[in-house]
Amino acid sequence: MKKHLLFLGAPGAGKGTQAELLSKANSYLHLSTGELLRKEIEMDTNLGRQVKDIINSGELVSDELVLKIVKQNLNKDNKGWILDGYPRNLSQANSLNKVLIEINQPIEVVFYLDIPEEVLIKRLLLRGRKDDTEDTIRTRVNIYKETTEPLIQYFKDLSLLEYIDGDRDLKTISSDIKQKMV
């Protein structure tokens, strides 16, 4: 059973939901970078204060800072882990791979939740978040395509990529993922 997993997919593809279900079922750490950053801010750590200042100034948190937080959480004893929402680009993927090799926990499988763009947009609009207008969603999807989609080929070249049809019901997707973990 593979225990070092990465979920890739556009915003609204269901990465977080599937990662959460799998993490509970297998007692794996679920490392969502957004949640890790929020946790650091809540705990008011040095890193958290740095992150808060960066976010408040409207900037993006640097790759180095995100990697530092991810590494700090991976070093904990764990039965396995699931990365969700990170890496977001090739530079982050290369840095992450170096760290994972150092701690002897390389990625074993990358699940790519593939879903048609129009389905994503409908899903995100249904979520009903205040900042989710059709324009902002399309912008996020376009940013994803430019920066994150190259990772699909990157992980495919490393023979780690598993395609998952994300336009099905929750249980079918979960079952498909479990079968590909063996």
Average pLDDT along the chain, 182 residues, taken 10 residues at a time: 94 93 94 90 93 86 90 82 92 94 93 95 87 86 90 96 96 97 91
What is the extent of the structural domain holding 41? 4-179
What span, in angstroms and rounded, lies between the C-alpha atoms of 30 and 147?
Answer: 23
Which domain CATH number covers 94? Answer: 3.40.50.300
Least Cα distance to 100 among 170, 54, 160 occurs for 160
pLDDT of residue 140: 87
pLDDT of residue 48: 92
Q: Tell me the C-alpha to C-alpha distance, in Å, between residue 55 and each of 6, 41, 45, 50, 143.
A: 25, 10, 15, 9, 18
pLDDT of residue 73: 87
What span, in angstroms and rounded, lies between the C-alpha atoms of 101 and 21?
Answer: 27
pLDDT of residue 80: 94
pLDDT of residue 179: 96
pLDDT of residue 101: 92
Which is it for the CA torsion 57, 121, 146, 22, positive or negative?
A: positive
HSE toward the beta carbon, residue 156, CA cutoff 13 A: 7
pLDDT of residue 78: 78
In the chain, the number of structural domains is 1
pTM of the full structure? 0.89
pLDDT of residue 60: 81
What span, in angstroms and rounded, lies between the C-alpha atoms of 18 and 7?
Answer: 9
